[in-house]
A and B are shown apart, each in its own frame.
Chain A
Amino acid sequence: MITTLAFALVALTAALAVFGLVTTALGHPAGRAHTLAVGGVEALLVVQAVLAALRVLGGARPPETETFLIYLVVSVCVLPIGLQFAKADETRWGGTVVAVTAVATGVAVLRLLALWGGASG
């Protein structure tokens, strides 16, 4: 796992959460802007997940490897599902749904960082 990328993703998911909350405050339903913003963050999450998975396949063993892999899957899956769920609603609250899933994703990345930090590999 690349620490720099992980920290960047924590910052990006936080920014995405703020963006979602702002669109709710402005009264805009989830739309194209949300799709693009989530898409950008998601692309980096996928890169991180692939790199981390390759390291584990290559023999790296973070403590609680099962938990690590679950967080890895969660970090990739939550945002797209949340986006679909947000866009299925026409109200302003879609942005807040995106924000909630962005925070959860950020927490997952932080947990990944903490677990990986304990690994020698």
Chain B
Amino acid sequence: MAEGRETGKGVGRVLVAVYALFALSASARAGVQLATRYHEAPLAYLLSAFAGGVYILATVGLAGRQRWHRRLAWGAVLVEMTGVLVVGTLSVLTPADFPKATVWSGYGAGYGWVPLVLPIFGLLWLRRTGRDTPANSTRD
């Protein structure tokens, strides 16, 4: 049985929907870029693909009901938060390394800052719906 409340119900369903849309847009965009013009900016395009993968994992984790879903969601959203902060900072400090935008460039400015706000909501929602945190989930 899952611990805590289900993360994909109620307002959590909105969160899952937004994550699914980002999973779709980041992955599709990266797919096209890698397939048609990989050589132009391999780092940026691979980062977009990585971001797409993280969004897919977060979507699955948040939508699922099992305990491992919650762990998966915690991991994915934490990676996402780190990713948007690190890539966002690097893209501002060394723009030359990011000739082509990724989802996380400029802290997600190209996507209406949603990439920056989304993991914050994700982490708050995970904390609110369950007692399972990375700190104690290994003990259970």
Nearest opposing residue in chain B for A99, CB measure = B14
A97 touching B17, Cβ below 8 Å: yes
- Chain B interface: which of A3-11, A87-95, A112-120? A87-95
B21 touching A93, Cβ below 8 Å: no
A41 within 8 A of B: no
A89 touching B32, Cβ below 8 Å: no
Tell me the bound Cα distance from A85 to B28 in angstroms: 21
Query: How many residue pairs between the two chains, A and B, have CB atoms under 8 Å in the bound complex?
Result: 44
Tell me the bound Cα distance from A100 to B28 in angstroms: 19
B14 touching A78, Cβ below 8 Å: no
**Selected contact of B10 from candidates A70, A85, A93, A100, CB within 8 Å:** A93
Residues in B with CB closer than 8 Å to A100 are 14, 17-18, 21
A35 within 8 A of B: no
The 8 closest A-B pairs by CB, nearest first: A91-B10, A97-B17, A96-B14, A104-B21, A100-B17, A89-B13, A93-B11, A93-B10
**Selected contact of B17 from candidates A64, A91, A101, CB within 8 Å:** A101
Given contacts A66-B32, A70-B32, A74-B24, contact A89 B10 (CB under 8 A): yes
Q: Please list the residues of chain A having a beta carbon within 8 angstroms of any beta carbon in chain B.
A: 64, 66-67, 70, 74, 78, 82, 85-86, 89, 91, 93-94, 96-97, 100-101, 104
Q: Secondary structure of the B side of the interface?
A: helix
B5 within 8 A of A: no
Q: Number of contact residues on B: which range applies? A: 10 to 19
Residues in B with CB closer than 8 Å to A101 are 17, 21
A97 touching B36, Cβ below 8 Å: no
B13 touching A93, Cβ below 8 Å: yes
Report which residue of A64, A66, A82, A86 has the largest number of chain B beta carbons within 10 angstroms of its beta carbon.
Answer: A66
Tell me the bound Cα distance from A64 to B40 in angstroms: 15
**Selected contact of A91 from candidates B9, B18, B24, B25, CB within 8 Å:** B9
**Nearest Cβ on chain A to B49's Cβ, whole angstroms:** 15
B13 touching A94, Cβ below 8 Å: yes
Known contacts A93-B14, A96-B11; can you find 15 more A-B pairs with CB under 8 A? Answer: A64-B32, A67-B32, A70-B28, A74-B24, A82-B17, A86-B13, A89-B13, A91-B9, A91-B13, A93-B10, A93-B13, A94-B13, A100-B18, A100-B21, A101-B17
